[in-house]
Amino acid sequence: MSTTQHQQMVEFFLGLQDRICAALEAADGGAKFHEDHWDRLGGGGGRTRVIAEGNVFEKGGVNFSEVFGEMSPEFAKQLPGEGTRFSATGVSLVIHPRNPHVPTVHANFRFLTKGESWWFGGGADLTPYYPVLEDVVHFHKVWKQVCEKYSPLIDYKKFKNECDQYFYLPHRKEARGVGGIFFDYLQGDFDALATFVKDCADQFNSSYIPIVERRKNSPYTEQEKKFQEYRRGRYVEFNLLYDRGTVFGLKTDGRVESILMSLPPTVRYWYDYRPEPNSKEEQLTHYWLLPKDWAEMG
């Protein structure tokens, strides 16, 4: 893997962070991202941007990082390639809206090397609390369309199914949200795959911002806000127990504040909570969180 290819992705991800932050600030209409530059002791660093207490976004982060160096032999065994020398660059974001009718969203696009091996990873997934079919279908259609542009190199159904499988909490026996796409260890023709990843990453704004604009002024009750905070607990559980990005960052001595910016600002844990039968809260787990071919609906 050449330095030129790595640098190409670094420059793209820096621009991607700018474009996403600009779109989110415009949708919020008030708050701006606070930026921190940080250095990693073992090599590299990043540019963390966090938005908080906005008109629309209660908390969110859009992080760029470029790190390199040596990973522990134990952790190296879990990844492709020989040796312990690695590099990684990418953008990772999580947005927690204030209004429970606006879904939480996560996306990540990254490029990694280890020894002579390299691969791409990434994807995006939606976590609504009070889902609307129009929104869920829109989100999935955007990702389906960009993936199908690159068929047969890219298999949308595979990425969609991998997302459903990955963002799943085994201890709860339920999905975190309504999915999207997810891919990892994507290897082959660098130029072709880099073109796909760039195109895919640049679809984030069109996948999410229209949903925000439709729902950000929806009225909501105190009870709906409390339910949103309760469901945010599932986000905490997944990110701390299963998320590969969290594990990778912590195992490679990344900046803890940047890694954990994905956690929501307020979370509520109710003991043995059971929603009212046939309520919207019950429908979330009984209908919406069950995998479906959303792009074919609506």
Tell me if 292 is assigned to some domain. Answer: no
Tell me if 99 is assigned to some domain. Answer: yes
Tell me if 105 is assigned to some domain. Answer: yes
Catalytic residue among 96, 106, 138, 140: 106
Tell me if 160 is assigned to some domain. Answer: no
Gap between the Cα atoms of 20 and 226, Å rounded = 29
Task: Name the DSSP letter for residue 115.
Answer: T
Tokens encoding 183: 């891919």
- Alpha carbon dihedral 35, 37, 40, 43, in 10-degree steps, equals 130
Q: What's this model's pTM, rounded to 2 decimal places?
A: 0.94
Q: What is the pLDDT of residues 164-186, one digit of tens each?
A: 999 999 999 999 999 999 999 99
Domain total in the chain: 1
Gap between the Cα atoms of 28 and 103, Å rounded = 14
Angle between helices 133-148 and 204-215 (to 10 degrees): 170
Position 248 scores a pLDDT of 79
Q: Which amino acid is at 178?
A: V
For residue 106, indicate whether it is catalytic: yes
Position 296 scores a pLDDT of 95
Tell me if 200 is assigned to some domain. Answer: yes
Helix (H) or strand (E) holding 75: helix 73-76
CA distances from 207 to 2, 103, 221, 293 (A): 32, 12, 27, 16
Q: What is the pLDDT of residues 210-265, one digit of tens each?
A: 999 999 999 999 999 999 999 999 999 998 999 887 887 888 777 888 788 788 99
Tell me if 21 is assigned to some domain. Answer: yes
Q: What is the pLDDT of residues 44-81, one digit of tens each?
A: 999 999 999 999 999 999 999 999 888 788 887 888 87
Residue 110's domain is classified under what CATH number? 3.40.1500.10
Tell me if 171 is assigned to some domain. Answer: no
Domain coverage including residue 107: 3-128+189-273
